[in-house]
Amino acid sequence: MSSTIKGAFYVPPHKKPFRKTDGWDCQHCFDPDPISKSFKLKTRIRNEENKMRCRGCGSRRPGYSVLGFGLQKRRDQDKIYVRAKGEIIKSNHCIPDGYASLDEWIQHLKTNVVPMMKQKYNFWEVITLIPIEIFEENIFTLRDELQNYSMIRPKRCEAFTPFQDQKRMIRGHIIGLARCSQVCRSWYSFFKQNVFWRTPYLYRRVLDFYEQRLETLANTKMKNLRSCKWTNDEIFSNSCTLKIVNDSKIPFDIYWISSDNKGIKYTCKGNVSGDHSSSESVHMHRIESEGESEQWRPTFTITTYPNHKWFCIPKLSWLYDNHVSSLGFAWNIDVFNLVNVDSLDKEGKVVGTAPVSMTLITDKNPADYKFIAGTKKVYKNYQHAVMRQAIDKNILINRKKHNAEMLKLNSKDKRTLQKRLDSKNHTIHYYESRNKEMDYALKIIQ
């Protein structure tokens, strides 16, 4: 499967801008010189603006597809006007470019396009000729939906379930693939390819890992600090600023851990970018490095309190592409180990120093990365792997038991009804035979 290059895209000929002129020149034939009647001057044949084919050789006008679609800048204005007489007339906007009328375009389809499609392809097999990249970018847009999903809880949202929402997105993607594969045999063989099913399999693997990793980091045991026995008044009176500096090129989500009577909770408070090229010094931190005068790194700043617990984990959108499981860590706030750093104003100028709780996210060697279980495994049939992910085995077993009980019950009812039917059939047969005897006796007596 070839990858699409970002920033470069192909514009098909029938979608290129068309400039209106007095006519168009044929690219295949020439007009003879009007005086010498020779073709030495090579003057191209000039055709009228409303003609789709050359008047000399009959070749198609350049810049239009085989279906005859050109650019219609006002296709949204296509309307049907009804006159008082009841005659229906379509507007000129619905006529494809390059044709004098809609009937001319329809005739072109009947004469040229339809026979060609019947000769070369089966109607249901035409979709199998579309490149797979087109499906991923325009039809099955699961990757874009998941990449653009934010884990930060909206301010005005009562029910925020990010994992359930993303699982529904993956489930909808799987349902779309399954329905397409049930259309016909050619679609079944086309949509059964591992290219289609490997994507939802990997995304579901990463999503399950991310959810489990959050639970693991949130329940990480911390060392007891000197402020662990402080009262609430002492804690809230000693607030400080948490500054997280990302020295790696990986974006991270920042979570705050809280606990109550119901258990431990974690809330996404924001994220810190991995882009070191940003020039916004307000959201950057200056660090010292060997060989360079200064380096700026992206930061995340928030107010926090002693003994508060935090953890960082790579952004889910980054994990969807990289499948690394060994990144992320947790820490708690120790107000006895604050660091004095330069404080900046809105313009990025140093106005003084302030004590902050500094946490540095460093870059690791890619050779030491550990990957999410199952992402490096190659399956012969990814469709079956997706079924094992999406379908709960226990639910199927319970449904099978329920169906067996209902089958047994209905079979018993069927046997009871069969006995009653047999009895009724015997009674009907008895009265029918008696009627035949009566008819025989009546014939003799009469």
Domains contained in the chain, number: 2
Q: Higher confidence at residue 125 or residue 36?
A: 125
Cα separations (Å) of 408 from 401, 411, 414, 419, 422?
Answer: 11, 5, 10, 17, 21
Residue 228 and residue 332 in one domain: yes
Amino acid at 67: L
**Residue 428 maps to a domain:** yes
Q: 332 with 228, same domain?
A: yes
Mark whether 428 and 368 lie in a shared domain: no
Q: Residue 411 sits in which domain range?
A: 405-446
Asked if residue 68 has pLDDT above 50, the reply is: no
265 within domain boundaries: yes
- pLDDT tens digits for range 192-224: 888 889 989 999 999 999 999 999 998 888 888
Contact 390, 171 (CB under 8 A): yes
pLDDT over threshold 60, residue 78:
no
Query: Average pLDDT, whole number, for the chain?
Result: 76
pLDDT value for 164: 85
373 and 417 part of one domain: no
Closest CA to 314 of 326, 305, 302: 326
- 366 and 264 together in one domain: yes
Residue 238 lies in a domain: yes
Write the pLDDT tens digit of every residue in 256-298: 988 877 788 888 888 888 776 654 444 556 555 555 555 677 8
Residue after which a domain boundary falls, among 346, 380, 414 = 380
Task: State the pLDDT confidence band at 118, using cuts at 50, 70 and 90.
Answer: low
- Average pLDDT, stretch 68-92? 41
Burial class (CB in 10 A: 0-12, 13-18, 19+), 63: middle
**310: in domain:** yes
Count of residues in the chain: 446
Residue range 341-375, pLDDT digits in tens: 776 666 666 666 778 888 888 888 888 888 998 88
Please tell me whether residues 289 and 412 are part of one structural domain.
Answer: no
